[in-house]
Amino acid sequence: MPFRETAMRDDKKTRIIFGLGSVLAALALTTAIVAATGNNPLQAYGNIIQGAIGSPNVAANVLVSWVPLALATAGLLFTFTGGLWNIGIEGQITLGAIFCTWAMRSLQDTALSPGIIIAFAIAAGMLGGIFWALLAGALKTFGGVNEIFGGLGLNFVATALNLWLIFGPWKRPGVASMSGTLPFEPELWMPTVSAQSRLALIPLALAVLALVIAFILLRGSHFGLRLKAVGKNPKAAYLLGIPTWQHMLLSFALCGAFAGLAGAVQVSAVYHRLIPSISSGYGYTGLMVAMLVNFSPVFAGPVALFFAALSVGSIQLPIVLKLDSSLAGVIQGFLVLFVLIGNGLRLKLLGRKRGSI
């Protein structure tokens, strides 16, 4: 007994040490790169921080950007738990945006009140995401197409569909523009906390809710445990009597619902129209966040917030330092990379004792 307890404490300690080490390594490398470009790294970080929390307005922008990222991450927690790499989440966000736009377009001239139209549009967006996710899921379970390849393909199709709609059936009268479809009337914009702010409370609440749902379902429900079993060993899960592909499809559907919601939020609360790159890469960033937190619902929210802050804060870089704002992406990528490497090393060091991982 005492032996076992020491082993566990050791484990936690090494976890923290390795985690910190990875973060430091990522920062060190980013710092080196910034320094190599002849810029002052501290100034760069200072600008990012200033640009992320320097004023209530930019902090609100961070939250605006956190909402779709948190939603995507919450969704991905389900698919990752189910052992699935839902690369197709980008397309699911796009389809959510498309369905949402479609609902708004169909309902905007009716007598329905704006609140109801928005509610319908959000629901439609979620349906769109679910639909696209289930396509990837069906390709996987019934077509034997790996979800990564299926997802990638569906992402391309979603982008193409989106562009076709923007440049085709949903184009502005006489004009086809990359700027997207004609903006909706302001009544149909998701209400924001103030006229100056971009932050809408309803999407914020929905994103928090999504994370809470993910936490509750994955941590404490039979569904979560079963999904975990399917994710870690589908064959054994099947022999244990768990309907394997049904769980996989369900996790796809849940992820698609959250992704679709993210897309609907982008349309109804951020851009107020459909634009070509409506998914804004939130799906891919969500994948990074989910990997970084090792698929834990507890840390998903804070880390997503950190990533959102990096992205929003880094807008200052080109303005002030003439540095490319993709530095934020570099930091994010390095973080994920080093944390994954750190995890691998830690498991390798500990794994020798355990025998397997």
Partner 1 sequence: MTIELRNISKHFGALKANDSISLAIPPGCIQGILGENGAGKSTLMKIFSGFLRPDSGEIVFDGKPLTIHSPDDAIRLGIGMLHQDPLDFPPFRVIDDFILGSPGGLVPDRRKALADFNSLSARFGFSLSPEARVASLTVGERQQLEILRLLWLGAKVLILDEPTTGISQTQKEKLFATLKALADQGMTVFFVSHKLEDVEALCSRAAVLRQGVLVGSMEKPFDMAALVRMMFGKEVELAAKSSMAPGKKVLTVKTGSVGSIRLRIKDVNLQVRAGEVIGIAGMEGSGQDLFLRACGGLVEPAGGQFCLDESETPMNGKTYHEYMRQGVAYLPAARLEKGLVPGLSLAEHFTLSVKPKGVFIDKKAAAALSEERIAAFNIKGWPDSPVESLSGGNQQRALLSLLPEKAALILVEHPTRGLDIESTIYIWGKLKERCAAGTAILFMSSDLDEILRYSDKVLVFFAGRVTPLIASESLNVQKLGELIGGVGWDAFQGNSNA
Partner 2 sequence: MKRLCILILAVLIAALALPAFAQAPKAAGSNLTIGLVMVGPYNDRGWSQANYDGMLYVLDKVPGTKLVYIDKANSADRPGTTVSQLGESLVAQGAKLICFSSDDMMDEAVKFAAAHPDIFVIMTTGDQQWKEGKAYKPMANMINIMGKMEYMKMVAGVAAAMTTKTGQIGFLGPLINDETRRLAASAYLGARYAWVNYLKKDPAQLKFRVTWIGFWFNIPGVTADPTQVADEFFNSGCDVVISGIDTTEAVAEAAKFTAQGKKVWAIPYDYSKAMDEGKGVSLGVPYFNWGPAYAKTVKEAMNGTWKAHFEWNDPDWKNINNPDTSAVGFIKGNLSKEASEGVDKFIGELAKGLNLWAGPMNLQDGTVYLKSGQKATDQQIWYLPQLLQGMTGQSVSK
Which structure tokens are listed for 116? 């109801």
For partner 1, which is the closer residue by CB, 42 or 232? 232
Q: How many CB atoms lie within 10 A of CB 169?
A: 9
CB of 97 closer than 8 Å to CB of 263 = yes
For partner 1, which is the closer residue by CB, 238 or 284? 238
Shortest Cβ distance from residue 144 to partner 2 (Å)? 28
Which residues inside 59-98 make contact with partner 2, applying CB under 8 A? 61, 65, 68
Give CA separation, 83 vs 148, 219, 244, in Å: 12, 16, 11
Give CA separation, 91 vs 47, 62, 124, 134, in Å: 33, 23, 15, 12
State yes or no: residue 12 binds partner 1 (CB under 8 A): no
Shortest Cβ distance from residue 345 to partner 2 (Å)? 32
Give CA separation, 251 vs 141, 166, 281, in Å: 13, 30, 21
Shortest Cβ distance from residue 241 to partner 1 (Å)? 5
**Of 18-26, 132-140, 188-196, 222-230, which part binds partner 1 (CB under 8 A)?**
222-230
Which residues inside 161-220 make contact with partner 1, applying CB under 8 A? 216, 220
Q: Judged by CB under 8 A, which of 17, 240, 298, 349 binds partner 1?
A: 240
DSSP 266: I
State yes or no: residue 220 binds partner 2 (CB under 8 A): no
Q: How many CB atoms lie within 10 A of CB 123?
A: 17
Q: Judged by CB under 8 A, which of 229, 261, 321, 335 binds partner 1?
A: 229
CB of 85 closer than 8 Å to CB of 155 = no
Which structure tokens are listed for 269? 């609360």
Of 18, 46, 45, which Cα lies nearest the Cα of 30? 45
- Which residues make beta-bridge pairs with 192? 200
**Of 20-28, 171-179, 229-237, 321-329, which part binds partner 1 (CB under 8 A)?**
229-237
Angle subtended by helix axes 56-81 and 297-313, to nearest 10: 140
State yes or no: residue 174 binds partner 2 (CB under 8 A): yes
CB of 126 closer than 8 Å to CB of 295 = no
Binding pattern to partner 2, positions 30-59, x when CB under 8 A? ---------------------x--xx-xx-
Which parts of this chain interact with partner 2 (CB under 8 A)? Answer: 51, 54-55, 57-58, 61, 65, 68, 114-115, 159, 163, 167-168, 171, 174-180, 183, 186-187, 189, 191-196, 198, 201-202, 270-273, 275-282, 311-312, 315-316, 318-320, 325
Which parts of this chain interact with partner 1 (CB under 8 A)? Answer: 3-4, 216, 220-223, 225-226, 228-229, 232-233, 235-243, 353-357
